């Protein structure tokens, strides 16, 4: 479950040397994906979503403006659309997600922000 590497390293000068060889042990552990689909929160949300989708459509759908396309705004727009209403989602920035957003820089690397809120 690991790979052994051999490297030369001088402890005193912190430089690599051909005289001193040390074994390094690298361990990679793959944790199984948690069974999220059977948690109470997931099942309650799925039930709520199916209730909205299967409920009779309103005679006059509401036009609702939602300010902010963060997690709350996105989920609110989804539930309103499922219930037969017409949400209009407004976002000031050019990325969705609010505090939990990601964007690509000019080098093509992805940056994520806001994961600390979880």
Task: Quick: pLDDT tens for 36-75.
Answer: 888 999 999 888 888 877 888 899 999 999 999 998 999 9
CB distance 102 to 95 below 8 Å: yes
- 4 pLDDT higher than 60: no
Cβ atoms within 10 Å of 93's Cβ, excluding its own: 11
Backbone dihedral angles phi then psi of residue 76, each to the nearest 5 degrees: -65, -45
| CA-based nearest residue to 45, from 70, 73, 87, 82 | 82
Q: Supply the pLDDT for residue 109.
A: 87
* CA–CA dist 7, 16 (Å, integer): 8
* CA–CA dist 79, 73 (Å, integer): 10
CB distance 114 to 98 below 8 Å: yes
Structure tokens at 50: 């199916």
- Range scoring the smallest mean pLDDT among 7-16, 38-47, 83-92: 7-16
Structure tokens at 65: 């403006």
């Amino acid at each position: 479950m690991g790979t052994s590497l051999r490297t030369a390293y001088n402890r005193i000068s912190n430089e690599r040397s051909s005289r001193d060889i040390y074994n390094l042990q690298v361990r990679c552990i793959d944790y199984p994906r948690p069974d999220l689909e059977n948690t109470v929160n997931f099942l309650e949300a799925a039930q709520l979503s199916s209730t909205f989708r299967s409920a009779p459509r309103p005679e006059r759908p509401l036009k609702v403006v939602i300010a902010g396309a963060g997690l709350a705004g996105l989920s609110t727009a989804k539930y309103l659309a499922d219930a037969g209403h017409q949400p209009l989602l407004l976002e000031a920035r050019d990325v969705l997600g609010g505090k939990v957003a990601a964007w690509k820089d000019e080098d093509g690397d992805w940056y994520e922000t806001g994961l600390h809120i979880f």
